[in-house]
Amino acid sequence: MGGTTRRTTRDDDFATRLTAWQHGHGRHDLPWQNTRDPYRIWLSEIMLQQTQVDTVIPYYARFLARFPDLASLAAAPVDDVLALWSGLGYYARARNLHRAAQAVMTRHGGEFPRHAATIAELPGVGRSTAAAIAAFAFGERAAILDGNVKRVLCRVFGIAGFPGERAVEQRLWALAEELLPPIGIGTYIQAQMDLGATLCTRGKPACGRCPMAQICVALREERVAELPAARPKKAVPQRHVRVAVIVADGGVLLERRPPSGIWGGLLALPEIPDGEADAARWVATRYGLAAQATRPLPPLNHAFTHFRLEITPLLVEADGHGHMAADADHRWLALDSLADAGLPTPVRRILAELAAARP
């Protein structure tokens, strides 16, 4: 990546138009811009994976206030990292961020790697993200291919097929490499991101203001709406789960999720096994708690990337804290002090509604 490529008029036209547009119309004042600090750039790139800029900005500020540098992040308990990530979604990013910080400290002596190929070896960092970090922090001439860039390239150069298909993606990578300008790589990479995020959007693109309007194949052939091709549709699975909201003395019992899978490593409500009709008996057997009363709470639907989950909470009023209170994988937390806990968004909603309804 980043080797010498044969320049063509098409390539120079694309890069020249894009860079000129960036200077006058691109984004220049985002919190992670105007810095060469690889830690801050890396953090922003991970947070921006599958998340909008406006959502990321407050999380980015809070994260840096708590972990101002790589060493402080690496030394922190993973629970603290997950708590700050709570609500941002895709929690594997937070776990990998923590693991990567520790890897930089142990494998690289605390110095962030300078080259995209080495950066890509860190947990949670793919080829495109590594290239963006290397370009912004160290000026390495490396191509990126995130969702915005794929959309721009598919439209401007009329590339058909779903970009997630291997053959189409390989073609896009080759094109992205070929289009790299010889200088000004940071501005060019930012321009690609900004064009896709602000003008060449998925819905209602602003083609009349786009610097590529005169050379865009999709616009010329009236194919803007069909490029890039959509992911082939599949039926979205619907899953159901019952969870126990076990409360006693103003606290709720939370159970740590396994490291992998949904909500990995977060504190969540215990799942009641399928076929377990008597929730009170299950609570008594599993947690050593005597249930005084049980009643259903309003169900909640939550959408993940590949499936939808219907959550049915069952409130269990318990007597005392039982024998699980000292278990490392379980924790009693007060209902009125959950703000700093690392909880999945639907669990936080369930508990917030419960706390608001209690006297």
pLDDT tens digits, residue range 136-168?
999 999 999 999 999 999 999 999 999 999 999
What are the phi and psi torsion angles at 198 (to 5°)? -110, -35
Instruction: Tell me the longest C-alpha to C-alpha distance in the chain.
Output: 77
Domain boundaries, the chain: 9-143+170-194, 238-357
Query: Quick one: which of 139, 211, 130, 144 has its CA closest to 172?
Result: 144
pLDDT at position 3 is 40
CATH number among 1.10.3330.10, 1.10.340.30, 1.10.620.20, 1.10.10.10, domain 9-143+170-194? 1.10.340.30
User: First and final CA of the chain: distance in angstroms?
Assistant: 62
* Kind of pairing between the strands at 238-248 and 308-319: parallel
Which phi and psi angles does 242 have, rounded to 5°?
-105, 135
Least confident of 3-7, 166-170, 212-216, 239-243: 3-7
The fraction of the chain above a pLDDT of 90, given in percent, is: 62
Q: pLDDT class for 5, splitting at 50, 70, 90?
A: very low
Global pTM value: 0.75
- Range with top average pLDDT, 27-31, 155-159, 229-233: 155-159
Residues annotated as catalytic (active site), given as ranges: 45
Protein fold of 238-357? Nucleoside Triphosphate Pyrophosphohydrolase (3.90.79)
- The predicted structure's pLDDT at residue 2: 40
The pLDDT score that the predictor gives to residue 324 is 54
Between CA 243 and CA 273 the distance in angstroms is 9
* Per-residue tokens: 117: 């190929």
Q: Is the N-terminal amide bond of 228 cis, ω within 30° of 0? A: yes
Across the chain, what does the average pLDDT equal?
89
Give SS3 for 133: helix
Tokens of 271: 């799942």
pLDDT tens digits, one per residue of 56-114 = 999 999 999 999 999 999 999 998 999 899 888 888 999 999 999 999 999 999 999 99
Distance from C-alpha of 216 to C-alpha of 10, rounded to nearest angstrom = 11
